[in-house]
């Protein structure tokens, strides 16, 4: 038993890297229900997995970090375990501020069919499905 434990420990020591961040690093915050309370909306396949990026303000102990959270998350405690953080690898120079994006409400796209190229009827068990190629 001890031999197996030593072998598993050696595998973890070789492959496992301790997660460490520096003050000022940008990280993503993992969206997960803590202690059965869903704080960030409903669960689902297409919901976002991470919130952010947020900046690390201070390191608290060996595995906890204090984040500078946005105003929308002011009710959430701002100290998180390292397992709830993911390093943000985005380039800050490529980010576009929301103020610079302008949407013209008068522009729209209307798709009109020109002509019917082909049509057929597919059989699916007892139903018939008309398919039209435009």
Instruction: Determine the Cα–Cα distance for residues 53 and 21; give it in Å rounded to an integer.
Output: 14
Exposed (0-12), middle (13-18) or buried (19+): which is 67, by Cβ within 10 Å? buried
Instruction: Determine the Cα–Cα distance for residues 33 and 61; give it in Å rounded to an integer.
Output: 23
Helix (H) or strand (E) holding 11, with range, is helix 2-15
Instruction: Determine the Cα–Cα distance for residues 130 and 134; give it in Å rounded to an integer.
Output: 13
The reported pLDDT for the residue numbered 57 is 94
Structural domains of the chain, ranges and CATH numbers in brackets = 18-90 (2.30.30)
**C-alpha dihedral sign at 31, 32, 36, 42:** positive
Residue, of 62 and 95, whose pLDDT is higher: 62
Model-level pTM?
Answer: 0.53
pLDDT tens for 37-81 read: 445 555 666 666 777 788 999 999 888 999 998 887 777 788 999
pLDDT over 50 at 35, yes or no = no
pLDDT tens for 100-123 read: 555 566 766 677 777 888 889 999
């Amino acid at each position: 038993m001890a031999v197996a434990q030593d072998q598993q420990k050696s595998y973890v020591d070789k492959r496992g890297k301790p997660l460490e961040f520096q003050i000022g690093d940008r990280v993503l915050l993992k969206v997960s229900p803590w202690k059965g309370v869903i704080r960030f909306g409903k669960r689902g396949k297409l919901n976002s997995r991470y919130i952010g990026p947020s900046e690390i303000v201070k390191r608290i102990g060996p595995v906890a970090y204090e984040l500078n959270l946005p105003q929308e998350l002011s009710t959430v405690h701002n100290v998180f375990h390292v397992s709830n953080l993911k390093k943000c690898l985005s380039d800050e120079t490529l980010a576009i501020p929301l103020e610079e994006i302008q949407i013209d409400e008068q522009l729209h796209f209307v798709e009109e069919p020109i002509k019917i190229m082909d049509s057929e009827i597919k059989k699916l068990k007892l139903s018939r499905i008309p398919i039209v190629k435009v």
